[in-house]
A and B are shown apart, each in its own frame.
Chain A
Amino acid sequence: MRNAFADEVTKLAVEDQRVVLLSGDIGNNLFEEFKASSEKRFFNCGVAEANMMGVAAGLALNGLRPIVYTITPFTTTRCLEQIRDDVCYHDVPVIIVGTGAGLSYAELGPTHHSCEDIAILRSLPGMTVLCPCDSVEVRLMLRESLKHDGPIYMRIGKKGEPAVHETLPALKIGQSITMRQGNDVCLLSTGNVMPMVLEAADSLEKQGISVCVESFHTVKPLDTKRLGEVFRRYRIVGAVEEHNQIGGFASAIAEWVTAQEGPLARLVGFSLADRFLHEVGSQRYARERLGLTAQVLVDGIRRRHNAL
């Protein structure tokens, strides 16, 4: 996703002279082409993220389209007040990109994990929260983001994630994408867990449970039209995210559920345990330790389905 971001932002900067890229001393050799084609609109802002975010707001207040890029905790919680006051309060079009979202940087330890960002960023008025599932969504989303006139937070993974979309889907902010049709249960997935969700869906299909899978790349604003459809069609709806169980995607849907009337599907959240992981390891290991695997999904869905 990281390389797709760098490539797409380079193209966009050539097409749109308002695009300015701010990096927090990150992306070694990642932005060489951007610098070659749009040198005056690339800034390495150093290891000073709070200033970087304020600078981005100033650029946006004067008509430019800054894109702020660094590792997720440093482009979110490190400079949260600048995001809140300078970007969101002013309602300016700054695109904040966090790389290494969730447990992508599992091997770097909890200082580099980002499992609270959705909860925190989506609570800011006016903020749009995007979680692309693969490089295709990253590219399309970046393009869509430049058409949007307010603050955007996009959490992306690292490099080398599997491509999920085989063809170019029609992507619009706030509209989920149906990945596969199914009759029995529905799994709503946001961000980089999509391959795991599809693996779980395959497994459930083999056990005779037909699964609809949706890419909910936009956590805020939620696609409430689609939520209305799936919660009335299915009896079990799962929400999957690589994020703390508190305040993220599943919580956002739970908030929506509380405002509905009439019979609805049962919501099942699949998120990460609310604790720091002190042991290092691969992303897969970290997910497992915090309770998020394809098997957990399969077991959780099957148990509830069989109890119907």
Chain B
Amino acid sequence: MRYGLQELDGIARALRARIIETSHRTGTPHLGSCLSCVDILTTLYFQVLNVDPERPSHPERDRFILSKGHGAPALFQVLAMRGFYPEAMLESFGEDGSYFGEHPPTPQHVPGIEAATGSLGHGLSMALGMALSARILRRSHRVFALLSDGECNEGTVWEAAMFAAAQKIDRLAIVVDFNKWQATDRSEKVMALSPLVDKWLAFGWSACEVDGHDLKALMDVLSRVPDGSGKPVAVIASTIKGKGVSFMEDDNNWHYRIPTASEVISAKNELRVPA
């Protein structure tokens, strides 16, 4: 273990503050979606993924694809904090000519990015291709992808699920950021997602549900990939959209709303991050 739980919690709170500040400064939406996956990203990048910011293209690195590409403002902050590039680089976020925007760019532009995403339902297939490449090239790295629950509306997610199961590709894992909301409504109401764990089980995956804000629980389950079942792993992370700020939590207006200056101050107070 590289970091204690207390340190990880501090990192996650600092990340949330930076994401909120950047949203305010640049007018970038999807704040609720970013905040719901901060603990997952923190656990992956600071505890689970075998990555080296000094050697971001190392062939044996673990791969991570943000399939829910609209979480890019969160991913960019995590990569900076993990040391893939100086945090000062993010000052250009959203400016003309910057590569830091609402979705991840192609890999050659930002160290640590494995695939450009934005249209939902693409990341898992690309992750599966990378996992198959590891098998062909006899590499032992793992591939992780983070999906949103709304993204599970996409048929390609289930195409990939069946193909991964058929290939018994056990070095592939997904986390579903199950915050129960999609852009305009409750995800359950739109597409009857439940029972989500059972769906992944039925599709031939090893699947479990976990509290997506419990760093210890996330660490435990994500560190066990491959999990010995010979199957790909699906972690359904139960989360709260807008997690960490009382007036944003489970309020879907924050899918698009931009915080005001005073809301940023209130949020940082709640997060115990100095203004």
Say whether, besides A57-B129, A85-B119, A48 and B163 are in contact (CB < 8 Å). yes
Residue among B132, B135, B155, B162 with most chain A CB within 10 A: B132
Does A86 contact B125, Cβ atoms closer than 8 Å?
A: yes
* Nearest CB of chain B from residue A173's CB, rounded to whole Å: 23
Within the assembled complex, what's the spacing in Å between the Cα atoms of A89 and B107?
A: 11
Q: Is B66 among interface residues, defined by CB-CB distance under 8 A?
A: no
Within the assembled complex, what's the spacing in Å between the Cα atoms of A66 and B59?
A: 18
Within the assembled complex, what's the spacing in Å between the Cα atoms of A56 and B116?
A: 15
Binds B, one of A38-46, A252-260, A263-271: A38-46
Within the assembled complex, what's the spacing in Å between the Cα atoms of A63 and B136?
A: 11
Residues of B within 8 A of A40 (CB): 135-136
Residue of B nearest to A81 (CB): B119
Q: Is A20 among interface residues, defined by CB-CB distance under 8 A?
A: yes
Does A91 contact B119, Cβ atoms closer than 8 Å?
A: no
Say whether, besides A48-B163, A54-B156, A90-B106, A62 and B137 are in contact (CB < 8 Å). yes
Q: Is B114 among interface residues, defined by CB-CB distance under 8 A?
A: yes
Within the assembled complex, what's the spacing in Å between the Cα atoms of A91 and B108?
A: 11
Within the assembled complex, what's the spacing in Å between the Cα atoms of A270 and B167?
A: 46
Residues of B within 8 A of A20 (CB): 132, 136
Mask: chain A, 50-69; 1 = CB below 8 Å from B; 0 = not:
11111111111111101000
Does B134 contact A62, Cβ atoms closer than 8 Å?
A: yes
Count of residues in B whose CB is under 8 Å from the partner chain: 33
Q: Is A244 among interface residues, defined by CB-CB distance under 8 A?
A: no
Does A63 contact B133, Cβ atoms closer than 8 Å?
A: yes
Does B125 contact A51, Cβ atoms closer than 8 Å?
A: yes
Residues of B within 8 A of A82 (CB): 122, 125, 156
Mask: chain A, 70-90; 1 = CB below 8 Å from B; 0 = not:
000000000001100110011
* Nearest CB of chain A from residue B165's CB, rounded to whole Å: 11
Say whether, besides A55-B126, A86-B126, A62 and B106 are in contact (CB < 8 Å). no
Q: Is B198 among interface residues, defined by CB-CB distance under 8 A?
A: no
Within the assembled complex, what's the spacing in Å between the Cα atoms of A55 and B107?
A: 17
Residues of A within 8 A of B122 (CB): 54, 81-82, 85-86
Chain A residues within CB distance 8 Å of chain B: 20, 40-41, 43, 45-46, 48, 50-64, 66, 81-82, 85-86, 89-91
5 A-B interface contacts by CB (under 8 A) = A51-B128, A55-B132, A58-B133, A61-B130, A63-B59
Those 6 A-B pairs whose CB atoms lie nearest each other, nearest first: A58-B129, A54-B125, A51-B159, A48-B159, A62-B133, A58-B126
